[in-house]
Structure formats: C-alpha cells, structure tokens
Amino acid sequence: MEWKTRVTEMLGIKYPIIQGSYGGFGTSAIAAPVSEAGGLGIITAGALKTPEMLREDIRKARSMTDKPICVNLTVGMCPHIDEMREVAIEEGIPVVETSAFQATDHGKRLKEAGVKWIHKVATVKHAIVAEKQGADAVVIVGMEGVGFKSVDQLPTLTSITWAVKQIKIPVIAAGGIGDARGFLASLAMGAEAAYLGTAFMATKECPISERHKQYLADVDPSDPKLMKKVLAPPNPLDLEKVMKLRGKIPHGEWMMKLERVLLKEDPDADTSFESDEVLKLAPGSLAVSGIDKILTVKELIDSIINSAEDILKSGIFAGIRG
C-alpha cells in the first residue's frame, strides 16, 4: 500500500513517520537508519555542540543513507544556532525543524535558501502562529508526549483534531505515539505524519544506555513516577521562581531552568540530556504503552507499517466485540 500524504510528498519520504529530536544524543546514529528505513530521521544540532561537528555528522549520515535527513534547531537551547542553521543549508539539508521557542527569523532564512521549514509546538495557538509566519508544516506535541512541555498543552487527540480544523498547512501528530494503532490514529485525526520520540529511543541504534531502553520496554504508562513526569502540572512555586528570572539571566540558561520545572525537576538541578542522566530528566513519554521490546529502527518502522496495513485490511472495526 502507498502511504502518500502532503508530508511524504513534500519531503520525498516513503512513510509518514518522523523521528523525534533529542538534545544530547540525537545524532546520525539514529537519524540515518530512520531515513534509510523510509521515515524522516532528524539530527539534533544541539547534540553536536559545534557547527563543525554538525557538518561532520551530516556528512556521516550521508555516508549511511542517500535518503532525506532533517536537522533540528531547538531555539534558545542550541548553541551557535545561526551557524548551525547555515551549516544545514550549506550541506544541502532539505528540511529543518525548529522547536521550543519563536523561530520566525530562522524560518525566513531557511525558506530563502529553499529549505523546507517545519516548526514544532506544544499548543494549537502556536501552530496557528507558525502557519502565519510561513512554516511549511507544524508538529504539534500533545500532553502525552515529553520534551519541552507547556502548561497550556492539551492531549494529542484534542490538539490534532482541533488543529486540523484551523490550519491549512500539514499537521504532524506527536505525543504518546508508539505503535501501529497510534500511527493510524494520527492519520485518522487528520495529521499527515506521525512523529515518534520515545518509541525511537527504544531502538537498537539509539545512542542511549541499554538500561534506559529496557526501562522503556518494561515500564507501564500507569507508572506513577512516569505519569507525574509527563502529566502533572509543574510545581507553582518553582514556576514562579523561574518566570521571575526571565530577561534577567541569559535566555538559554533561563530556558534550561524552565524546562527542568516543566519536567518536574528542581530548576537548579544538575541534570542534562546527556549520558545516563537523561533517564532521570526525561525518561520517555506515555508512548511506552506501545513499546514491548527493543527492535532495530527498520524492524520498528516495518512493524508499524505492516500492522497498520493488517488493521486496515481486516477492517478497523475488527477489534470491536459485541
């Protein structure tokens, strides 16, 4: 079956499946296999630290696949972001994802250079703004997801179905998607691709610890610690403390503190998206409901596509008893 949407057409990819970006470890090691298997892999510029290291990693990805690769620029948190953006353009990256904060200037520059611009947001309100500013597509992450959270986030079901009524550019669904049913549901809600962060972290190629991957395969979405991390509102006192610092400390430092509060950590905690600390800071999302074992990237993508096709062939109501 052909999985054709405006997103697959725009990006030249086989399946409407996009891998999430990851500060600390989102390198070619995970991005290239995702693209090679028919999805869109993302290299997170911030994980490479310097523009030269990003250039090297893009070239490494090129040696691993000739399929399109995306670069993520996490605004406010990616060091040397302007130079990183220029490296992506110079290296012929066809699509860049921006995230975390307002990205209008980056978007304008990318479009001038003929690069497709996807912006990732946590609320429908911000998706509407991104469309007005010229984004070619938006990723909306519902509250089942993890990464940069928002206090105004709605569940994925509500966010996507509400967004597609108001937005003309393609919407990409994220937040809690981990298997074929979640993938199909994304498309049924009107999204034109599904975006998976946690699910690709539990693959053999992802450069995180084996302990972390096993945790993702074993943990229940109802685990109280995980639920708190993903769904609980931030501590109001910590949030107030951080909001008072806005404009008073460097923006990047402030964003890091805000992110920790949104992830229910102490704003001054010394946790990062690097090494095993990631298991503490952002272990994963409610997408663990769809993760049973550690697969290769290709096995994961093939299993999502094959099971989705089986579900469609057997009739989507086959699961209803009565």
Q: Which spans of this chain sit near ligand FMN (rule: CB under 6 A)?
A: 20-23, 44, 46, 72, 74, 99-100, 120, 141, 144-148, 174-177, 196-198, 273, 278, 282, 284-285, 287
Cβ closer to ligand FMN: 106 or 317? 106
| Residue whose CB is less far from ligand FMN, 61 or 177 | 177
Q: Give 10 or 287: the residue with its C-beta nearer to ligand FMN.
A: 287
Query: In the sheet that 69-74 helps form, which strands lie side by side, from edge to edge?
Result: 17-19, 194-196, 171-174, 137-141, 116-121, 95-99, 69-74, 41-44
Contact present, 81 and 98 (Cβ < 8 Å): no
Instruction: Identify which of residues 48 and 61 has a Cβ nearer to ligand FMN in the complex.
Output: 48
8: closest CA among 172, 190, 168? 172
Pick the closer one to ligand FMN by CB: 26 or 38.
Answer: 26
Smallest gap from Cβ 281 to ligand FMN, in A, equals 7
- Asked whether the beta carbons of 78 and 255 are under 8 A apart, the reply is no
Helix axes 81-90, 51-64, angle to 10 degrees: 30
Residue 146 vs 301, nearer CB to ligand FMN:
146
Q: Alpha-carbon dihedral of residues 159, 293, 202, 20, nearest 10 degrees? A: -30
Token pair 């699961």 is found at: 319
Amino acid (one-letter) located at 242: V
Least gap, CB of 89 to ligand FMN (angstroms): 19
In angstroms, give the least distance from the CB of 318 to ligand FMN: 26
Q: Smallest distance, Å, CB 276 to ligand FMN?
A: 12
Least distance to ligand FMN, CB of residue 212, Å: 9
Residue nearest to ligand FMN (CB): 197
The CA distances from residue 138 to 61, 70, 133, 154, 174, in Å, are 24, 14, 11, 16, 10
The residue (of 51 and 315) whose beta carbon lies closer to ligand FMN is 51
Beta-carbon contacts of 322 under 8 Å, excluding residues fewer than 6 positions away, are none
CB of 232 to ligand FMN, least distance (A): 16
CB of 109 to ligand FMN, least distance (A): 18
Find the shortest distance in angstroms from Cβ 224 to ligand FMN. 18
Nearer to ligand FMN, 12 or 79 (CB): 79
Q: Give the phi and the psi of residue 268 in degrees, each rounded to 5.
A: -95, 5
| 8 A C-beta contact, residue 201 and residue 213 | yes
DSSP structure string for 204-232 = TTSSS-HHHHHHHHH--TT-HHHHHHHHS
